[in-house]
Structure 1
């Protein structure tokens, strides 16, 4: 039975998202005592502070999944040198109403992939700034800006040999981070 549940927050809702594929492949590198809940973002209404007193069912589900998790794994692309709007919308919803943030104290890991070799660097930095404000302790090292290129995955969707050692190192560091902060 899994002892640690990780809320997986993929910053892209595209059907063939590179980051969703990376999230699924990374899960195979975790130890058996980790399980994963993929947090849905595509059904959240645009954040509006007027709705804080009566949050939508999808928002309450989002907050519940985050609160139930021992850790957060953000796997996100970079849109216009920052985080995608759908991710920011989810972050805003789960942090409200003020003083009732679901993110508070949750151990976070940030990773992302892009067709460019450092394509998620600015997105990850912006996300780290937001998470620091939300009091979500975030793994600082190793940073992982994954180049989505030929050989990243095997035919079965697992991480390919060329990247496995590095990504296993990231997963191992994140596992230790979660265990230290859970």
Structure 2
């Protein structure tokens, strides 16, 4: 392995103070100390349009370069209308294109998410797993981190305070790290 493993975080929420971004940043805290972490900015990506592939927008090129540098991905997303938010789907569409070199292919990824409702992100994560399969990401299967009533699960400092949720998040990140370590040593 050369250097420190680099993990890129992608949040499916653009909202300032996003609870899913907070969940993602809490997951970062479970990464080994020698790992580096960068939170991707997908807010400036234009809607995917194949016509733009002839001269890729700067925001797309920046995201592609960031993803090429990654050894793995942590993705946290809310669920909108039983699926993933359009901004996340748009980012994944850009990253899937041959024109950018498919920078996600074969890299480990772990997903998590929460909602204010009672079902967490179970339906949205099903759709996200389908996207991950299409992108040839090496998905962590278990545990599933589907947090219901996410707005009640943080303390005043922004720390994820749900005991069972923290245990699941730790297990998810541990399983993810195992995949990253195998991948970077291969």
TM-score by shorter chain over 0.5? yes
After TM superposition, give the deviation of residue 156 of structure 1 in Å: 2.2
Extract unaligned runs of 5+ from structure 2.
Answer: none
Structure 2 residue aligned with 1:177: 179
Structure 1 residue aligned with 2:169: 167
Structure 1 stretch displaced more, 2-11 or 157-166:
157-166
Q: How does 1:23-172 map to 2 (within 5 A)?
A: 23-97=24-98, 100-147=101-148, 148-150=150-152, 152-160=153-161, 162=163, 163-172=165-174
Structure 1 residues 5 and 99 mapped into 2: Cα distance closer, same or farther (>3 Å)? closer
After TM superposition, give the deviation of residue 155 of structure 1 in Å: 2.9
Q: Is the contact between residue 26 and residue 159 of structure 1 (CA under 8 Å) also seen in structure 2?
A: no
Q: Can you list the C-alpha shifts for 1:132-151, whole angstroms capped at 9, x where unaligned? A: 1111110111111012153x
Extract unaligned runs of 5+ from structure 1.
Answer: none
Q: Is the contact between residue 113 and residue 146 of structure 2 (CA under 8 Å) also seen in structure 1?
A: yes
Report the secondary structure of 2:138's partner residue: coil
Q: Can you list the C-alpha shifts for 1:62-110, whole angstroms capped at 9, x where unaligned? A: 0000110000111001111111000111111112235821111111111
**Equivalents in 2 of 1:19, 1:110: separation in Å?**
11
Report the secondary structure of 1:6's partner residue: strand
Q: Is the contact between residue 143 and residue 168 of structure 2 (CA under 8 Å) also seen in structure 1?
A: no
Structure 1 stretch displaced more, 68-77 or 28-37:
28-37
Q: Can you list the C-alpha shifts for 1:27-81, whole angstroms capped at 9, x where unaligned? A: 1122102211111111011110011121101000000001100001110011111
**Equivalents in 2 of 1:126, 1:161: separation in Å?**
25
- The structure 1 segments of at least 4 consecutive aligned residues displaced by more than 4 Å after TM superposition are none
After TM superposition, give the deviation of residue 181 of structure 1 in Å: 2.5
TM-score with structure 1 length normalisation? 0.92
Q: What's the Cα RMSD here? A: 1.8
